[in-house]
Amino acid sequence: VDPCHDEGGAPRGCVPGLVNAALGREVLASSTCGRPATRACDASDPRRAHPSALLTSAGGTASPLCWRSDLLHRVPLNVTLTVPLGKAFELVFVSLRFCSAPPASVALLKSQDHGRSWAPLGFFSSRCGLDYGRPPAPADGPAGPGPEALCFPAPQAQPDGGGLLAFSVQDGSPPGLDLDSSPVLQDWVTATDIRILLTRPASVGDTRDSEAMVPYSYSATELQVGGRCKCNGHASRCLLDTQGHLTCDCRHGTEGPDCGRCKPFYCDRPWQRATAWEAHACLACSCNGHARRCRFNMELYRLSGRRSGGVCLNCRHNTAGRHCHYCREGFYRDPGRPLSDRRACRACDCHPVGAAGKTCNQTTGQCPCKDGVTGLTCNRCAPGFQQSRSPVAPCVKTP
């Protein structure tokens, strides 16, 4: 079963499955304990190390091994966890399990350009105004028409001493938006990297008095980034390419890491994201097998009623035209061969003396003959005429 085509072979929108995009990915932590070694944490001893790799490894949850930051002694107490996802994903949720009392303030950010710029997805705090200058999130979602980074309550401490940070992309999105039809929602859920800023430990209250602080370390495990590899509806899976980069297994005449453009010869109409009801496949140009390249022309596309805008380039086999669908000057269509045949266009072969020119009728192959000359290539004198010695008037009336 091909998820990207129906039983009849017609293209249909398809998407990769929901995965934990962070699984096995390297996590860049701004602080990790064990260097230098302490009694509780030694980075050089696997039994006492707490590296950031534990956040995204597929360990069991019964007795989780946790990443742990250095002991932090004074405000600010920021620690950053960054997970490059390798390519664009469409997020569904982000979660992080804390192994000790969860922080009182956390900011969740995303990048869409592999870490060059960042935008907030959400904030979590017991005091949104003080920590992030934002009001607490309204119960019914964002007030505006589009998604927003809202400030939600900080993760609650669980009876086991830990806690769970859980964020769903729906939390910041107004109800009723549909991913297929909403470009702003598509933008909202798209991320190449996730960053979690742990900005205030649970033990630090409203005061910013560093003197009153007890040394603290953040500790967490099971960082999950639930999402789908972003392929714009044109692939059902992502694979590692020859250079080890995750990339969509593009169908529908598309290419690129996210199937975000049409393949070179598939430019008969503009690229579009597929939806659940329309595949919007890129269509190959119609060049009758006589061209390998084509370009898109928006004006022709509009004039055709948004059906076809491809223009074939470098028509071969003596063909010409937007679709290489007629013969170039000096050639005519051989009616015995299909248009796609390499020899569909035959040379006019007009006689150098009997013909008045070199260009024949493109349909019949008839060359323009001088007076008294006949034949498809003008190579004979007509009945009642005979050959003369003059190349200007090769046939004269028989006396």
Partner 1 sequence: EVMPTLDMALFDWTDYEDLKPEV
User: What pairs with residue 194 in β-bridges?
Assistant: 83, 110
- How far is the C-alpha of 399 from the C-alpha of 392, rounded, in Å? 19
**Cβ at position 355, least distance to partner 1 in Å:** 10
Q: Which residues does 274 contact at the CB level (< 8 Å), separation at least 6?
A: 11, 12, 13, 14, 232, 233, 234, 252, 280, 281
Of residues 91 and 376, the one with the C-beta less far from partner 1: 376
Residue 139 tokens read as 């119960």
x/- mask, partner 1, residues 309-348, rule CB under 8 A, reads ----------------------------------------
Residue 303 tokens read as 């004039």
x/- mask, partner 1, residues 346-375, rule CB under 8 A, reads -----xxxx------------------xxx
Of residues 53 and 382, the one with the C-beta less far from partner 1: 382
**Cβ at position 366, least distance to partner 1 in Å:** 16
Of residues 57 and 374, the one with the C-beta less far from partner 1: 374
**Cβ at position 397, least distance to partner 1 in Å:** 13
Long-range contact pairs involving 324-329 (C-beta distance under 8 Å, separation at least 24): 324/287, 324/288, 324/289, 324/290, 324/291, 325/288, 326/362, 327/362, 329/359
Residue type, 335: P
Q: Is 382 in the site for partner 1 (CB under 8 A)?
A: yes
Rounded-to-10 torsion of CA 134, 140, 145, 146 = 60
- H helices of 175-286, in order, are 183-189
Q: Which of 1, 10, 214, 392 binds partner 1 (CB under 8 A)?
A: 392
* DSSP H or E run through 254: strand 254-255
Q: Single out the segment in contact with partner 1 by CB under 8 A; choices: 50-58, 168-176, 235-243, 382-390.
A: 382-390
Site residues for partner 1, 249-308, by CB under 8 A, read none
**Cβ at position 347, least distance to partner 1 in Å:** 15
Applying CB under 8 A, the residues found at the interface with partner 1 are 351-354, 373-375, 379-383, 385, 387, 389-392, 394-395
